[in-house]
Amino acid sequence: MRVLLLYPQFPKSFWSFEKALELVNKKAMLPPLGLVTVAAILPQEWEYRLVDHNVRPVTEEEWDWAEIVILSAMIVQKDDFTVQIQEAKRRGKRVAVGGPYATALPQEAKAAGADYLILDEGEITLPLFVEAVQKGETSGVFRSDGNRPDVTTTPVPRFELLELNAYDSMSIQFSRGCPFQCEFCDIIVLYGRKPRTKTPAQLLAELEKLYELGWDSSIFMVDDNFIGNKRNVKLLLQELKPWMQERGYPFRFNTEASVDLAKDQELMDMMVDCNFNAVFLGIETPDEDSLTLTQKFQNTRDSLSESVEAIIRSGLRVMAGFIIGFDGEKAGAGDRIVRFVEQTAIPTALFSMLQALPDTALWHRLQKEGRLRDGNAANINQTTLMNFIPTRPLEEIAQEYVEAFWKLYDPELYLDRTYRHFLKLGAPRHKAVQRPITWENLRALLTVCWRQGVKRSTRWKFWIYMFSILKRNPAVWDHYLSVCAHSEHFLEYRDIVRQEIQSQLADYLTQEDRLRLVTDNSSAALAS
């Protein structure tokens, strides 16, 4: 069986970083970890090719070669997901789909033309798909019926199928699931509330594979909450440290974690010892009432600002997610988020309007209350208007959102926050093996210095801050400059956010006016 693994294109988003990627001659931030894992689970006597549509299109030869096409996608990729399914069907190919989007909304994948729906977690459903194919079945829906696989049996992903040089960072996964119960989150729906982890030996085998393939840069630990099972994480880190030491610290790790990481200094120290240098926190909002309402209780137990401070000083750069539009939210939420971000000096603040994702507790509650907006499917993107009717005017929330996003990524404010953040950031505890300077890295350095240190109004601050970092915290200067470079993306993206949200809001208000007119005319007719 000849299998074409196809990963759909992402639209421009907060994390797409096109401008920053251009600087270092990369095509995409992260590879499709799900598809290379699928290739490892499926029969190894089958033949595989992988095309990431974020890197390049499928060639005619690849289309002709394929007997079956397998796609995996997140909701944000749904447009190209649909296009690629239809293209494969036009060429007479059988199509199988899986991943978070197909699992959450299987009817949409079916409507797009998919023959096989491989839903839930592949360790359980991929063998069912293989059995169906071997029996000659030309369609089917495969589900796990609520069962969760033992991820200690998951094989090492087929990383060799990737065009490694196209990516800025690699992806691996240690755990699935999260112990918390945030109302708006679909992770606990997809993967459960009991975190399941691989063994340390498994993860080291994956790292060894990447090391043998010549990868020597960043690795994103894609766990939705890396510290969901702290005991097993510490066991991993105990074994990861000597592995990294023996190889001269070839990788830098980033991951996602809950804010309660700040309460475990031992764990933070172990992460820094293993060359973790950044962590993404789901802070969501500084408004405690909103956190309580959405059942994000873990963020209400300690001071959020003090937690962020503790993590930064331990040596982990903090990235954070924020959301506007919670029920009961008071006016000025956008400004409060901006003030919190400025107070804590978080450079990278993901900011979104709340979305009701399929099958979440929020989705079911709003559906019961009749508040989901017709024709507005959920999308995890920063350019998407809310897909439900909030408790305060949607236009008020949208305006606050646009203004706050614009302020957050003002070039001068961003540079100020980044500088203050890196002054506090704990230095790395070891020196990685010195790598040769490449033309791409040199060009990126010169371009950032030219744009931010010469062309823009930030020029004086850029150089003052750069020399200050070199003097006061020199061990982090390259890390600091790379985060400064992200401004190249955000400067463009905040324009896109403003244009898209304002356009969608105008359409929404027009529809509301029409509906109001129809209602008024109907009332007048009845009265007469």
**Local confidence band at 374 (pLDDT 50, 70, 90 cut-offs):** confident
Q: Is the pLDDT of residue 436 over 70?
A: no
Residues sharing a CB contact under 8 Å with residue 113, sequence separation 6 or more, in sequence order: 85, 86, 88, 89, 95
- Model confidence pLDDT, tens digit, residues 464-507: 999 999 999 999 999 999 999 999 999 999 999 999 999 999 99
Q: Are 250 and 433 in contact (CB under 8 A)?
A: yes
Q: Which residue has the higher pLDDT, 163 or 513?
A: 163
CB atoms near residue 371 (< 10 Å): 15
The whole-number pLDDT of residue 525 equals: 60
- Model confidence pLDDT, tens digit, residues 108-142: 999 999 999 999 999 999 999 999 999 999 999 99
Q: Are 72 and 38 in contact (CB under 8 A)?
A: yes
Kindly compute the dihedral angle of the four CA atoms of residues 231, 169, 15, 364, in this order, to the nearest 10 degrees.
Answer: -40
Tokens in use for 36? 């290379």
Q: Where are the domains of the chain?
A: 2-142
CB atoms near residue 147 (< 10 Å): 11
Distances (CA, A) of 229 to 25, 177, 237: 37, 10, 12
The whole-number pLDDT of residue 375 equals: 63
Q: Is the pLDDT of residue 450 over 90?
A: yes
Query: Which region among 315-324, 332-341, 429-438 has the lowest average model confidence (pLDDT)?
Result: 429-438
Give the pLDDT mean for 368-388.
81
Exposed / middle / buried, residue 246 (Cβ in 10 Å: 0-12, 13-18, 19+): exposed
The whole-number pLDDT of residue 241 equals: 97
Q: What predicted TM-score, i.e. pTM, was given to this entire model?
A: 0.93
Kindly compute the dihedral angle of the four CA atoms of residues 65, 107, 157, 66, in this order, to the nearest 10 degrees.
Answer: 0
- Model confidence pLDDT, tens digit, residues 183-198: 999 889 889 989 999 9
The whole-number pLDDT of residue 370 equals: 94
Give the pLDDT mean for 349-359.
93
The whole-number pLDDT of residue 298 equals: 87
Report which of 35, 36, 30 is spatially closest to residue 13, judged by C-alpha positions. Answer: 30
CB atoms near residue 488 (< 10 Å): 22
Among residues of the chain, what percentage have pLDDT more than 70? 95
The whole-number pLDDT of residue 295 equals: 87
CA 419 – CA 412 distance, rounded (Å): 11
The H-or-E segment that residue 170 falls in is: strand 169-172
Q: Is the pLDDT of residue 378 over 60?
A: no
CA 17 – CA 204 distance, rounded (Å): 29
Report which of 351, 255, 342, 260 is spatially closest to residue 304, judged by C-alpha positions. Answer: 260
Q: Is the pLDDT of residue 2 over 80?
A: yes
What is the DSSP-derived secondary structure letter of residue 298?
A: G
**Local confidence band at 271 (pLDDT 50, 70, 90 cut-offs):** very high
Q: Are 106 and 141 in contact (CB under 8 A)?
A: yes
Give the pLDDT mean for 281-299.
90
| CATH architecture group of domain 2-142 | 3-Layer(aba) Sandwich (3.40)
The whole-number pLDDT of residue 433 equals: 60
- Model confidence pLDDT, tens digit, residues 238-248: 999 999 999 99
The mean of the pLDDT values for the chain is: 93
Residue type, 495: D
Strands of the 276-284 sheet, one edge to the other: 169-172, 218-221, 252-257, 276-284, 317-324, 348-353
**Local confidence band at 527 (pLDDT 50, 70, 90 cut-offs):** low
Give the pLDDT mean for 321-337.
95
**What is the DSSP track for 336-350?**
HHHHHHHHHT-SEEE
The whole-number pLDDT of residue 380 equals: 65
**Local confidence band at 453 (pLDDT 50, 70, 90 cut-offs):** very high
Give the pLDDT mean for 366-387.
81
The whole-number pLDDT of residue 242 equals: 97
Give the pLDDT mean for 420-440.
80
Give the pLDDT mean for 200-226.
97
CA 101 – CA 341 distance, rounded (Å): 31
Distances (CA, A) of 400 to 322, 338, 346: 13, 10, 20
> Bridge-partner residues for 94, per DSSP?
68
The whole-number pLDDT of residue 444 equals: 86
CA 476 – CA 61 distance, rounded (Å): 46
Q: What are phi and psi of 219, to 5 degrees?
A: -130, 125
The whole-number pLDDT of residue 528 equals: 61
Helix boundaries (H) for 286-434: 288-293, 304-313, 333-344, 361-368, 394-408, 411-424
- Model confidence pLDDT, tens digit, residues 20-65: 888 888 999 999 999 999 999 999 999 999 999 999 999 999 999 9
Report which of 168, 171, 208, 138 is spatially closest to residue 26, judged by C-alpha positions. Answer: 168
